[in-house]
Chains A and B, each alone.
Chain A
Amino acid sequence: MSKAASGAMTTKAKAMFAKRLSESDYINLANKKSVSEIATYLKNETYYAQCLDGVNEKALHRGQLEALIRNDYIAKVAKILRYSASNREGFEKVIVTQSEVNTLIAITQAIVAGDFGSVVTKLPTTIESEICFDLKELANVRSFDELVEALVKTPYHDILANYASGDIRDMDFVGLEQDLYRYYHEETLKALKESIDTKSQKTIRDLLYSQIELDNIAKIYRLKKYFNTPKEKIGPMLSPVYLRFSKKDIEDMIERMDAEHIYERLINSSYKAYVKEERFLFIEHTTKMINYNLNHRQIMFANDPDTVLLAYMRLVENEIDNIVDIIEGVRYRVSSEEIRRMLIY
């Protein structure tokens, strides 16, 4: 890609990041009393105005608001990709795979809960032409076996088929979820490796590995603290990715440390520089904060378009998570201070 085109994409991504929700936006949103007030604020005061244009915010459903904001994420990335002079299919593939994996997890959850009616609501119709499975088939499945059958010509068939036998109530849902995420991570690395230059690969690999590694640590913490999961069962649940922690460190955590020690080990590790707030809320808050700061650093200082784009994608995802947290908080009447504490920005 020419320097000019690469600069254009980097500049566009950074310029779009500059429009993000500010601290005062978050304060105002957390002070709202209803979903419709949140929607009105987002529509009138923020850069979500375009994606919410024409919606009746007074009657807007929470789920619909979330759906619109998530769709806007895809539009934002597409907008930046327009500035790319070279082929960037890899990034599109990452978004599509992420959406496919999330859809399959949501549909499986609905089937496990026996709520077949809601299967159709989980389908990603906005990117219907890009995804690898037939939505019409998926919309009408009424069992897990039918789901596996509907995925027969897709790479997901083999993953799901491993869990198809036996009673649905005994299905290892955590294992399935784990396998799907592992597939997503592998596909992401593969897709980006194919389409980006080697210079950027290391930084991008570090960003992706950090996220996986942090997810692993959060999982170990949670399994130890809340589920008393036997040590030998924890290892297989993790993605075999090691970046700032060696394989031995992770095994040490599983074998010898309790949850509190794991947290201490995390915040004193080489991730320390990215822990901006030492107050502990819950483990995912800390890992997401580290992840946010890692990506934030990249978008501020990196000039390589692929790194900046990936960082931008992760930061927008974080913003969407923040908005969803606010919506949930407002719905369940959590105080605005509590809501703000949960947000990462």
Chain B
Amino acid sequence: MSIQKMKFVKTSTSRENLDEMLLRALDSKLLDPISADDMLRQDEEGRTISEDNVYSDYINNFKNMAHGIGLEIGRKKTSENAYSLEEIEAFSKELANKLELSSCGEDVVLTSDDQKALDALSECGFEALHDCRYINFGLGRLPLESYKKVELLRDRKFDLCILHSNAQYHWVVYATSNTFFAEVRKLLLSLYLEEIRIPNIDVKKVKADCEEKLEDIYAFCLKNDNIYRLYDYCIQKGDEYLIGGFVPEAKVSEYEKVFNGLDVKFEVDEPEEAGVKCPTLLKNNWFFKPFEMFVEMYSLPDYKDFDPTIFLGITYCLIFGIMFGDLGQGAVLAIGGFVLYDVLHYKNKLIGIVGRVGVFSMIFGFLYGSVFGNEEVLTPVHQALFGTEGKLVEVMDAEWTTRLLIGAVLIGMVLTLISMLINMYKNIRRKDLGQLLFSTNGVAGFIFYSYVVAVILNMLVLNNSLGNIMSLPFILPLVVVPFICFFFEEPLGHLLSGKNLKPEEGWGAFIMQQIFEMIVVALEYVANTLSYLRIGGFILSHAGLMLVVTVLMGMVGGAGSIIVMIFGNILVMGLEGLIVGIQSLRLEYYEMFSRYYDGGGRKYEVLTSLE
């Protein structure tokens, strides 16, 4: 329910143990490393490791060769043997010779289509084609248009066979006598035949012979390539080689155990010692975990800030439930979401969120007395439980429309006030007195907005039972003073932090800017509050849509009404569920996060295999 505590962990060892140490750090999947350059900023005695990575060239080389013979490599994760550079070089050359490639030779680029054509031709046996004494064969890609032209020719001195085709080419093999070979080849070349040399060897055989060793050497190169890449995170200090990074405090001992049996020095410090921004790893219980996705989408909190996931989770569920209140549809969402996410462990957090908001949709659906659009089925239950004449909430009743809209605005006001309180808590933690006292979301803002809420409540709900609170003695301290605070927020903040009172841009520009700023502030309060009207709006639109489905069911009648009910509900769940989900998120981001949340954190990203 917070941001996990981190530790800055440094491990160091000798050159001979370095590679093993790095591989173990990599395998642990616990270390969020900091770069060697950042380490050097803290440690001037150290220097980076500069060794040429020869393995990356071999990896590319092997990949190209494997691609050339239509082989997919990389399935093997660990190599069974160790190879010296000489052995790898010798194997690379041997394979190139077998495939008739050489580093200084022509650039052979065989596509998968070429390979298919060669596969088809290999049925005849390449050696057999080369062994013919009086007949010559040629192979190549012939554009489709050119093939049409060849077909127009009478008395051809060659025979042509299509091996493979795609949208642009036919892959053809042609056969002609030695006498006409030059003439035929010239003709086909003038028709843009792109020649492919018929290989002397059977690629399939080479593939079968070398596949296993190629996979093993490739895995070996990959492992070493990874090690070389990890050198970017290491510094050398005398005879010691050091890698540092962040590990969750609770996992430090687990991380330490990873290096058991290896001569490694282990040092644990506070994150501040690292000299770089500490990463953020959120920690929430099973219910709120999926909502971390929305926080990450906006921006993770800074390591030293607080995690807004729980507040977001609660308010999101509430807003969604209010807007999409239907016991039946909510149950479908809840069951679907919980089964897929919590039982079958689908990784998409959005599915988890659907399950959770489904529960709230059920709760509010029950209060509205709505089950799959049927507004009557729960009436007896309401009568028995709440002692009402009809349902507890008559959404489609004209009287209730105003109540729902006023209720939506009141919810908005309460959420805005809570957002301001959270913002004040944040500024207390940050010890930012200026923001705490004078900002529009600080104490001044809270006083002003609370007063406005009280005035509205007094007028609309309490029938002026609070008396005349719109008189000067109230307005002066609760409106004028807060606005003076907003106006002079910057210089007053400077004053509290012991800086020069004068604004950076000078008094003239400052006052001009603040006049406009105050208009914006006033408008924002109004706009942000009215933005919550959408909650009421969607309650009505949901009920309206389901009314349409119910009317259609009545019109169709019989078995058809069940089909209309099923498809109507699916449509409303899909369409309106999506819109309500987006609108709820919009309220979170624009109306609440904008008041109390800054983000700006860095994600905790563990070191993983770089291939």
Asked if B53 lies at the interface with its beta carbon under 8 angstroms from chain A, I say: no
Contact B149 A55 (CB under 8 A): no
Q: Is A230 an interface residue (CB 8 A)?
A: no
In the complex with contacts A59-B141, A136-B152, A139-B149, A121-B167 CB distance below 8 A? no
Q: How far is B210's CA from A300's CA once the two chains are assembled, in angstroms?
A: 63
Which one of A56, A58, A71, A139 lies within 8 Å of B152 (CB-CB)?
Answer: A139
Compute how far the CA of A117 lies from the CA of B150 in the bound complex, rounded to whole angstroms.
Answer: 11
Residues on A with C-beta less than 8 A from B294 are none
Measured in the bound complex, the distance between the Cα atoms of B187 and A123 in whole Å is 14
Distance (whole angstroms) from the CB of A73 to the closest CB of chain B: 14
Cβ A123 vs Cβ B152 within 8 A = yes
In the bound complex, CA of A307 to CA of B458 (Å): 72
**Which of B188-196, B265-273, B440-448 is near enough to bind chain A?**
B188-196
Does A236 have its Cβ within 8 Å of any Cβ on chain B? no
Q: A56-B111, A58-B109, A59-B141 given as contacts; is B191 within 8 A of A139 (CB)? A: no
Q: How far is the CA of A136 from the CA of B154 in the complex (A)?
A: 8
How far in angstroms is the closest Cβ of chain B from A20? 24
> What's the nearest-Cβ distance from chain A to residue B193, in Å?
8
- Residue from B143, B148, B152, B190 with most neighbouring chain A CB atoms (10 Å): B152
Least Cβ–Cβ distance between B134 and chain A, in angstroms:
23
- A120-B152, A120-B153, A125-B148 known; A64 and B192 CB under 8 Å? yes
Is there contact, CB below 8 Å, between B186 and A55? no
Question: Of the candidates B111, B149, B155, which one forms a contact with A121 in the assembled complex, judged by CB atoms under 8 Å apart?
Answer: B149
A118 to B187, CA, bound (A): 7
In the bound complex, CA of A331 to CA of B192 (Å):
16
Q: Is the CB of A63 within 8 A of B154?
A: no
Interface string of B146-166 (1 = CB under 8 A from A): 101110111100000000001
B-facing residues in A99-131 (Cβ within 8 Å): 117-118, 120-121, 123, 125-126, 128
Per-residue 0/1 for A246-290: is the Cβ within 8 Å of any B Cβ (1 yes, 0 no)? 000000000000000000000000000000000000000000000
Decide yes or no whether B253 CB sits under 8 A from chain A.
Answer: no
Q: A117 and B109: CB pair below 8 A?
A: no
The 8 A CB mask of A47-67 against B (1 = contact, 0 = none) is 000000111101111011001
Q: In this assembly, does B183 line the interface, its C-beta being within 8 Å of a C-beta of chain A? A: yes
Q: Mark B105-148, 1 if CB is under 8 A from A, else 0.
A: 00101010000000000000000000000000000010101101
Take A54-B166, A139-B152 as given contacts and tell me if A118 and B194 are in contact as well, using a CB distance cutoff of 8 Å: no
A140 within 8 A of B: yes
Q: Which B-chain residue is minimally distant from A136 (CB atoms)?
A: B152
Q: B186, A140: Cβ atoms under 8 Å?
A: no
Residues A120 and B149 in contact, CB atoms below 8 Å apart: yes
Which residue on A lies nearest to B187, using beta carbons?
A117
Complex Cα–Cα for A64 and B191 (A) = 8
For residue B154, which residues in chain A have a CB less than 8 angstroms away from its CB?
Answer: 136, 139-140
B residues near A95, Cβ cutoff 8 Å: none
A63 near B192 with CB under 8 A, answer yes
Q: Contact at B167–A56, with CB atoms within 8 Å?
A: no
A135 at interface (Cβ–Cβ under 8 A)?
A: yes
Distance of A229 from chain B, by nearest CB (Å): 34
Residue among B145, B155, B169 making CB contact with A126, cutoff 8 Å: B145
Among B109, B155, B187, B191, the most chain A Cβ lie within 10 Å of the Cβ of B191
Residues of B within 8 A of A118 (CB): 187, 190
User: B111 to A61, Cβ gap below 8 A?
Assistant: no
A312 to chain B, nearest CB (A): 24
Contact of B143 among A58, A64, A123 (CB under 8 A): A64
Closest B residue to A61 by beta carbon equals: B192
> Is B168 an interface position by the 8 A CB rule?
yes
Interface string of A120-156 (1 = CB under 8 A from B): 1101011010000001100110000000000000000
Residue of A nearest to B184 (CB): A117
Taking A64-B143, A139-B153 as contacts, is the C-beta distance between A54 and B194 under 8 angstroms? no
- Closest residue on chain B to residue A71 by CB atoms: B145
A interface: dominant SS: helix
Across the interface, do A135 and B152 meet the contact criterion of CB distance under 8 Å? yes
Interface size of B by CB at 8 A reads 25
Quick check: B190 and A125 within 8 Å, CB to CB? no
Task: Specify which of B107, B183, B191, B194 is in contact with A56 (CB 8 Å cutoff).
Answer: B194
A56-B111, A61-B194, A64-B143 given as contacts; is B166 within 8 A of A125 (CB)? no
Instruction: Check B111 against A117 for contact (C-beta < 8 Å).
Output: no
Q: Is the CB–CB distance between A117 and B183 below 8 Å?
A: yes
Asked, given contacts A125-B148, A139-B149, A140-B153, whether A54 binds B190 with beta carbons under 8 Å apart, the answer is: no
Chain B: which residue is nearest A60 at the CB level? B194
CB distance from A159 to the nearest CB of B (A): 23
Can you list, as one digit per residue, whether each of A65-83 has a CB less than 8 Å from chain B (1) or not (0)? 0010001000000000000
Q: Measured between C-beta atoms, what is the minimum distance from B50 to chain A in Å?
A: 34
Residue interface bits B172-184, CB-to-A below 8 A is 1, else 0: 0000000000010
Residue among A63, A120, A139, A140 with the most chain B CB within 10 A? A120
A56 to B196, CA, bound (A): 12
Known: A118-B190, A120-B152, A139-B149. A53 touches B141 (CB 8 A): no
Given A135-B152, A140-B154, A55–B145 Cβ distance below 8 Å?
no
Q: Which residues of B contact A121 (CB under 8 A)?
A: 146, 149, 190-191
Report Cα–Cα, A59/B114, bound state, in Å.
12
Q: How far is the CB of A34 from chain B (nearest CB, A)?
A: 12
CA distance A227 to B358 in the complex (A): 89
State in angstroms the CA–CA spacing of A150 and B192 once bound together: 26
Contact between B145 and A120, CB atoms less than 8 A apart: no
Q: How far is the CA of A56 from the CA of B145 in the complex (A)?
A: 15
Q: How far apart are the CA atoms of A118 and B153 in the complex, in Å? A: 11
Q: How far is the CB of B83 from chain A (nearest CB, A)?
A: 32
Check if A117 sits within 8 Å of B148, measured CB to CB: no
A135 (CB) vs chain B CBs: closest residue: B152
How far is B145's CA from A120's CA once the two chains are assembled, in angstroms? 11
A residues less than 8 Å from B190 (CB atoms): 63, 117-118, 121
**A53, B167: Cα distance in complex, Å:** 9
Q: Which residues of B contact A123 (CB under 8 A)?
A: 149, 152
Closest CB of chain A to B222's CB: distance in Å?
Answer: 28
B150 proximity list for chain A (CB < 8 A)? 120
Contact of B168 among A55, A126, A136 (CB under 8 A): A55
Q: Select B191's contact among A53, A54, A58, A120, beta carbons within 8 Å.
A: A120
Q: Which residue of B lies closest to A51 (CB)?
A: B168
Chain A residue nearest in CB terms to B140: A59
Q: Which residues of A contact B155 (CB under 8 A)?
A: 140
* Chain B proximity of A251: nearest CB distance (Å): 44
A64-B143, A64-B192, A117-B190 as given contacts; A54 in contact with B149, CB under 8 Å: no
The residue in chain B whose Cβ has the minimal distance to the Cβ of A64 is: B192
Given contacts A55-B168, A64-B143, contact A125 B194 (CB under 8 A): no
Chain A residues whose C-beta falls within 8 Å of the C-beta of B153 in the assembled complex:
120, 139-140
Min CB distance B561 to A, Å, is: 43
The CA-CA distance from A323 to B331 in the complex, in Å, is 64
The interface residues of chain B lying within 8 Å CB-to-CB of A140 are 152-155
Complex Cα–Cα for A61 and B109 (A) = 15
How far is A58 from B194 in the complex, measured between Cα atoms in Å?
10
Given the known A-B contacts A117-B186, A120-B153, A121-B190, are A54 and B168 also in contact in the complex, defined by CB atoms under 8 Å?
yes
B550 to chain A, nearest CB (A): 42
Given the complex, which residues of B lie within 8 Å of A120, measured CB to CB? 149-150, 152-153, 187, 191
A-B contact pairs, 25 of them (CB 8 A): A54-B167, A55-B169, A56-B194, A58-B109, A59-B141, A61-B192, A61-B194, A63-B190, A63-B192, A67-B143, A117-B183, A117-B190, A118-B190, A120-B150, A120-B191, A121-B146, A125-B148, A125-B152, A128-B148, A136-B152, A139-B149, A139-B152, A140-B153, A140-B154, A140-B155
B residues near A (Cβ < 8 Å) are 107, 109, 111, 141, 143, 145-146, 148-150, 152-155, 166-169, 183, 186-187, 190-192, 194
12 extra interface residue pairs, beta carbon distance < 8 Å, beyond A117-B187, A128-B148? A56-B111, A56-B141, A56-B194, A59-B109, A59-B141, A117-B183, A120-B153, A121-B191, A125-B149, A136-B154, A140-B153, A140-B155
Instruction: For the complex of A and B, list the 5 residue pairs with the smallest distance between their C-beta atoms, beginning with the closest.
Output: A64-B192, A139-B152, A54-B168, A59-B194, A61-B192
